[in-house]
Amino acid sequence: MEIAFLLIGLALGGAGMFFLMKPADDLDPEKPRELLKNAEKEAQHVREDNREKIKAMQRALEAEEKSMEESFEKMESVIGQKEEILNRKEERNKAAQTSKETLDGELKRLAEEEKKLTENTVGELSKRSGLTREKALEEARRELEALVTTNAEWRKKSALEELEEDAPRHAKAILQVVIQRLGVESSVDKNHTGVIVKDDKFKGLLVGKGGVNIEYLESLLPVSIIFNLGDTATIHVGGVNLLRRNIAKKAIEKMQTWVKKKGSLDHEMIKQAVDESEKEIMALCDKKGAESIKLMGLDPAKTPPELVNYVGRLYFRTSYGQNVTGHSNEMGFAARLIADFIGTDPQIAMQAAFYHDIGKAIDHDVGGAHDDLSKEILEKFNYDPRIVHAAWVHHDKGPCENPEDF
């Protein structure tokens, strides 16, 4: 038994000596240097990252400081304007007090004159002045008119200043009532141009060998077809022109149905799908345009068909997250209500507001500023110059000449 333990001890000792006496060549002398080098790189990266963060914080602080300075300047400007208004009111009050004292004196004098005139007949006045009775009365009327018109210019200026000061308050009150009465649906755009793919095989056919099919489809509209953007089961259609994106969406839906039956896809099928989809979308534009025009109390049958289509195209146009058809309807209703309040032409105001963004129906296709295009379209269809001008100047392209322009 002791011999067995001795043999085991010798074996373990021999193994230990083997590992202790292992050649140093098996250790990598460059490894510590590499670790140190990597640590230095990481430290440099951290330093650079911190420097960028510090710079970003400095820029943010500078921007905040600049914003606060601008806010203070605006506050000082507003305070200055209010002080000016108060000074003008004070001046008017002083002038009004002076005018009141003057008028009181004049009234007193006139009362005395009236008493004297009562005591004397018109004949006596005529005799003393050497005038006939009619001439004497005419002279008295002139003196009275001069008295009444005294300080007329000052009173006119005071009335205008008060109107300018009170106008914002009245405008807010009118807008508050209009917004409460408006009650239209939200104009936030809800158009979505994603297509649910029911069979992954369709994706491959749509792309085509070497991407020939997808390139051909994108060249026809043009749009961007995006695969596997978050949801792998959805093909997204991208691009600036929402109208063409919806044409592409409908075309892809058609192709997916056809591929399920035929099992293949070629350029002829793609072209057919796009042509049919464009006709269907344009028919929908005609329908949406007629609905929107009718909503404004206008007759679609008396509206040029091309203009009806343009109005409908705005259903596939957005601006700042709003659907432009919804926005145009809102503006038409609001303009008509405001016009009724302020006593200007409600039809001119309503149509100008309704058509003010009509240029957005074609700006992605032809280019140019949408307000200039709106002017060209309305002039093309011989709309009232007041409607044309009011629609055109909604971005201050020209001077406001009539109440409807505002």
CATH 3.40.50.2000 assigned to domain 194-272? The reply is no
Domain locations in the chain? 88-166, 194-272, 317-405
The first and second tokens of residue 102, run together, are: 């003057």
pLDDT of residue 16: 47
The Cα 54–Cα 50 span in angstroms is: 6
Task: Tell me how far apart the alpha carbons of residues 266 and 369 are, in angstroms, rounded to a whole number.
Answer: 39
Measuring CA to CA, which residue among 194, 197, 289, 294 is closest to residue 242? 194
**Structure confidence by residue, pLDDT tens digits, 11-60:** 445 544 444 444 444 446 666 777 677 667 766 766 776 677 677 667 76
| 217-223 long-range Cβ contacts below 8 angstroms, 24+ apart | 217/248, 217/251, 217/252, 217/270, 217/274, 220/270, 220/271, 220/274, 221/247, 221/248, 221/274, 223/248
Q: What is the largest CA-CA distance in the chain?
A: 170
State pLDDT tens for residues 357-402. 999 999 988 989 999 999 999 999 999 999 999 999 988 888 888 8
pLDDT at residue 48 in the model: 75
Within the chain, which residues score under 50 in pLDDT?
Answer: 1-8, 10-12, 15-27
pLDDT in the model for residue 362 = 92
pLDDT at 148: 61
